[in-house]
Amino acid sequence: MNDQTIIALYFDRREDAISETKAKYGEYLFSLSYHILKNREDAEECENDTYLAAWEKIPPARPQILSAFLAKITRNISLNKLREQNTQKRGGKTITLPLSELVDSIPDSDALSAMQPEALADSLNAFLKSLSPTERRVFILHYWYSESIEEIANKHSFGKSKVKMMLKRTRDKLQNHLQKEGIL
């Protein structure tokens, strides 16, 4: 079933919207959550929470790209769960999310709020297109899918130091790109 048909099911408030979403994107959403949480049960819970959130957001939202819409929901739910599990109050250890490595390469929240979201998205898309396929894949695996440096190194038969260096150079390129665009 295509995405527009699935979205129409949500707008018609038909419960089979969820089963169709699960059939088409369930494995993808589970995988995304699992890479963040490293726990099967928690990833399944986040996947299911995604379906509820999609049910609540569609309508009024009408996603242009359903897979990206669902991935964003899943990722946010998974990251919130990870933060919850690792708070100092509950005796958990502190965690470092991969995105925290980008703090020097992206604009601060004041600058972001003054920007048009489309302008930032267009700039980031242009940046990603400028990268080699390998650089882009490593960057996205680490910063979007939260894969560890070791997982990426194993997946691509690279050494960990090579992955670290690729990520550092890509962050530097991102910072330069955003400065040239006047965003940073």
- Find the CATH number of the domain harbouring 154: 1.10.10.10
Burial class of 109 by CB neighbour count within 10 A (0 to 12, 13 to 18, 19+): exposed
Structural domains counted in the chain: 2
Q: What is the pLDDT of residues 28-64, one digit of tens each?
A: 999 999 988 889 999 999 999 999 999 999 999 999 9
Contact yes or no for 59/10 (Cβ under 8 A): yes
* Residue at which a domain ends, from 90, 122, 146: 90
Do 151 and 106 have their domain in common?
yes
Q: What is the span of the domain harbouring residue 134?
A: 98-180
Q: What is the pLDDT of residues 113-166, one digit of tens each?
A: 555 667 777 888 899 999 999 999 999 888 888 788 998 999 999 999 999 999
* Residue at which a domain ends, from 44, 68, 90: 90
* Residue at which a domain ends, from 48, 65, 90: 90
The Cα–Cα gap between 58 and 54 comes to 6
- Find the CATH number of the domain harbouring 11: 1.10.1740.10
Q: What is the pLDDT of residues 155-183, one digit of tens each?
A: 999 999 999 999 999 999 988 888 888 77
Confidence of residue 89 (pLDDT cuts 50, 70, 90): very low
